[in-house]
Amino acid sequence: MTLEIFVVVIVAGAVGSSITPEQTIISSPEGSNTTLTCTYDDSADYLYWYQQKPQSRPEFLLRIIKSSDYVTKAEQLDSRISIRLRKKEKKVDLEIFPAAVSDSALYYCAMEPTVTQNSYTL
């Protein structure tokens, strides 16, 4: 089976701040290693990933602090889901391995200072 992922980007804060998904729709085979990637600008201090299932509100998954690489995880976060910061490339990844059909959802990457919008769907 294949899962569908949609990515939305949320940008909050100063005008000119940006975070952008590399792809907005991803199809992955079940059991594969699936990576969602967003590119951020220098104004980002905190980078977030959220997941939104159909007919549900977005739920926090992970946050990473750019200056320290400190990660905050949702209380019930599945161990298959992780975050990776690539500072040189200014990219933040959400990694899901192995991917399951139940991971099909809308995913939001966000940055702080503040929160606006862009996304991925899985």
Q: What structural domains and CATH numbers belong to the chain?
A: 2-121 (2.60.40.10)
Instruction: Supply the pLDDT for residue 14.
Output: 47
pLDDT above 50 for 58? yes
Going by the DSSP 8-state scheme, the letter that residue 24 receives in this structure is S
pTM score, whole prediction: 0.83
What is the pLDDT at residue 20?
A: 86
Here the tokens at position 49 are 């990933």
DSSP letters spanning 109-122: EEEESS---EEEE-
| pLDDT of 115 higher than 60 | no
21 vs 114, more confident:
21
- pLDDT tens per residue across span 4-26: 666 655 544 445 568 888 888 88
Angle formed at CA 62 by CA 27 and CA 74, multiple of 5 degrees: 110
Cα 121 from Cα 5, distance rounded (Å): 3
Give the pLDDT mean for 71-75. 97
